[in-house]
Structure 1
Amino acid sequence: MPRRLWIVAAVVIALVVAVGGYVWWRHDDDRTSFAWAVGHAPGGAQRLSWTDWAAVREHEHADLSRSSSADDLRTFLDRAYDDDLSSTSALVTSAPMLQERFGFSPANADWELFSQTYQGAVVMLHLPSSVDLDDVADHLRDLGYQEPDDPDGVWQGGEDLVARISPSLSGELQYVALDRPDDLVLTSDSASFLGVALDAVRGHGARATGFDAVVDDAGEPLSSAVYSGDYACGALAMAHAGAADQAQAKRLLASAGEVNPYSAFAMSDEPDGSVRVAFEFDGDDVARTNADTRAALARGPAPGQGGTFGDRFRVTSVTAHGSLVVMHLAPRADASVLSDLSTGPVLFATC
């Protein structure tokens, strides 16, 4: 090939690579913060709890910052609790002390993801770029955390240190890591598992899988509980209910029709005040079948919870989208749908 043609070919290849890289970068950049966080959670995640603190502050008209008082933060958290927007956070009880002594808290964090696996748990907290993580490091040093030799390593605290700082602090704050490229603070009650979580964030270790469909469906929720199918089938099983409730559940299931296992589950508080529930099934036909049966269950009695689901919400729609079944629920006044139905035996979430 003449030299000129080689040059043209090289330029074309370079443009293709550049365009391809740009498309990939845009695709990654266009993901919601929720999807990004779940996509960077450690491998083997079974339960993920999301809180969009910036959106919750906006929802509550709370003008908070790093300099806000702990009392102002408590007032905000009380309002968020009343609106069932903070039940997914692992840091609520620790928040005032975080605000006073750690340099970060729900007063200035963008979002929080609490990931639980069978090997350990980790809190991932995203801070705005205006927060200097070196300032956070200074706070950790002053509090008595042992600084790592590697600035990207794990700050060693431990149970005794956390107890000395304040009895209100969660055990999840025993060990801390700062990920400066992504403006993240990660905490855990296990130093070794925190290292695993850091590897996942930085792309050096396994990341959570199996949640893309239900997380993408949720969009940009204020808060969300996301479970693997295996975890939900255990945590939300009617087997946790009493004998009478289990007997009633069997009758309701027999009347409703076929119910199949699902691979992932998400229940989310949406910005419009609705609650969105998504189940992912093994194929379109299975999803269509379960849309009908689960719509019937969600409109009936709530054995194991008490009363009826209608006491808690109105079902506005239940539809099948490919392998997903999506429910739209309108909570009743003063009903805490997410915190109530993301724990304990729930008939319409049964496998």
Structure 2
Amino acid sequence: MRKRLTIVVVALVGLALLAAAVIVAVHWWQGRDETTFEQATAYAPPDAERLSWTDWSAVRKRAGAHLDADSSADDVQSFLDDAFDDDLTSASALVQSAPVLQSHFGFSPANAAWELFSQSTQGAVVIIKLTDGSDFDGVGDDLEDAGFTRPTRGDGVWVGGDTLLPEIGADLTPELQYVALDADRGLVLTSDREDYLGQVVDELGQDTVPAPMRSVVSGSGEPLSAAVYDGDNVCSKLAMSQADADDQATADRLIEDAGTVDPMTAYAMSVQPGGDVRAVMAFADDAQARTNARSRATLAAGPAPGQGGDFSDRFSVESATADGDLVTIDLSPTSGSYVFSDLSSGPVLFATC
């Protein structure tokens, strides 16, 4: 009887291990179909209302920059100047702080694979994926040397605070007051609030970002830089209500001529690898998407009240398509224009609600 029981237990353990292996394999296979942008967004907290994305590995490649944790602060600044000229740095929360980060923190745009900046009314957090092989023990030592208090557990919060940052260097964003390290995932997380950062760390990787935001992220492909808004955020931050009375009156006439403009459930604008800018809009249903593909393409090809001049001075509309409840508008910037950074804040007529 004891021998039979042993065999049964061994068999059950074997089945459990096989099931676990299958689950891991399924997640691995599903992950293969996700872009890096989608994988990063899965780390965003559930209260995210706006996400700002920078693919630092791709930006460095685009600029021909060969940097690492040991590069000089001057070399990092030179790289950022080149990336700025290509309109690839405005989504980052780290640019202003980069030289000091490189010198004192052990991480910066020089050795970040990507950066995701999440903002909401509840709090803000910068999530940074470091390049493979990064020395997290070294990052911890750098933080301790800079004056941060080491946490009692590995995934705890390193405490700096608003009085420490000026002692380390000038131009450090408040989002660097508190830091958490997740070596297993290769992540550094920072925030201006200790309690909020601790909450984000505890909930990390639950992939609870609202479905409409995930949808426009998926539609954005593999962008170098991107800004993503939930419905309420885009309808307040980019709406023509941000414009003065005269521009609002002009916008009303242009919208009436263009046709129906429905509220969006989410919106993303991104810089694509080839340099084009893509706007992806999510709507309540397929019918609204088809209607808005026409009306918003018309608005994107005309005057730009609230921004000045015409949109055609900045870009040409290459295509506008509806697929399900998504509308995708691809824009080709004119030489010297900064379409992404200029139109990531309102008012933007073709993104109004």
The normalised TM-score by structure 2 is 0.93
Q: What secondary structure, in the 3-state scheme, does the structure 1 residue paired with 2:256 have?
A: helix
Partner of 1:160: 163
Partner of 1:275: 277
Distance 1:331 1:240 in 2: 24
Report the Cα offset of residue 313 of structure 1: 0.4
Distance 2:139 2:242 in 1: 42
Which structure 1 residue ranges, 5 or more long, are not aligned?
none
Aligned residue runs from structure 1 range 172-321, under 5 A:
172-203=175-206, 207-210=208-211, 211-321=213-323
- Does the Cα contact within 8 Å between 2:177 and 2:193 map onto a contact in 1? yes
Letter of the 1:307 counterpart: G
- Does the Cα contact within 8 Å between 2:304 and 2:310 map onto a contact in 1? yes
Letter of the 1:78 counterpart: D
Q: What secondary structure, in the 3-state scheme, does the structure 2 residue paired with 1:168 have?
A: coil
Given the alignment of the two structures, is residue 27 of structure 1 paired with residue 20 of structure 2, yes or no? no
Partner of 1:327: 329
Report the Cα offset of residue 118 of structure 1: 0.8
Which structure 2 residue ranges, 5 or more long, are not aligned?
none
Report the Cα offset of residue 21 of structure 1: 4.3
Q: Percent identity?
A: 53
Partner of 1:336: 338
Q: What secondary structure, in the 3-state scheme, does the structure 2 residue paired with 1:201 have?
A: coil
The normalised TM-score by structure 1 is 0.94
Q: What secondary structure, in the 3-state scheme, does the structure 1 residue paired with 2:140 have?
A: helix
Partner of 1:108: 111
Letter of the 1:310 counterpart: S
Distance 1:350 1:70 in 2: 40
Q: What secondary structure, in the 3-state scheme, does the structure 1 residue paired with 2:268 have?
A: strand
Report the Cα offset of residue 152 of structure 1: 1.1
Distance 2:76 2:28 in 1: 37
Report the Cα offset of residue 17 of structure 1: 6.7
Report the Cα offset of residue 25 of structure 1: 2.4
Letter of the 2:187 counterpart: L
Letter of the 2:34 counterpart: R
Report the Cα offset of residue 149 of structure 1: 1.0
Letter of the 1:100 counterpart: S
Partner of 1:88: 91
Distance 2:15 2:193 in 1: 50
Distance 1:323 1:75 in 2: 42
- CA spacing shift, 1:286–1:74, aligned 2, 3 Å: same
Letter of the 2:333 counterpart: P
Report the Cα offset of residue 303 of structure 1: 0.3
Partner of 1:55: 58
Distance 2:19 2:139 in 1: 42
Letter of the 1:121 counterpart: A
Distance 1:167 1:196 in 2: 28
Report the Cα offset of residue 16 of structure 1: 7.0
- Is the deviation greater in 218-227 or in 60-69? 60-69
Distance 2:170 2:146 in 1: 14
Letter of the 2:349 counterpart: L
Report the Cα offset of residue 333 of structure 1: 0.4
Say what the alpha-carbon RMSD is for the aligned residues: 1.9
- Is the deviation greater in 12-21 or in 37-46? 12-21
Report the Cα offset of residue 207 of structure 1: 3.1
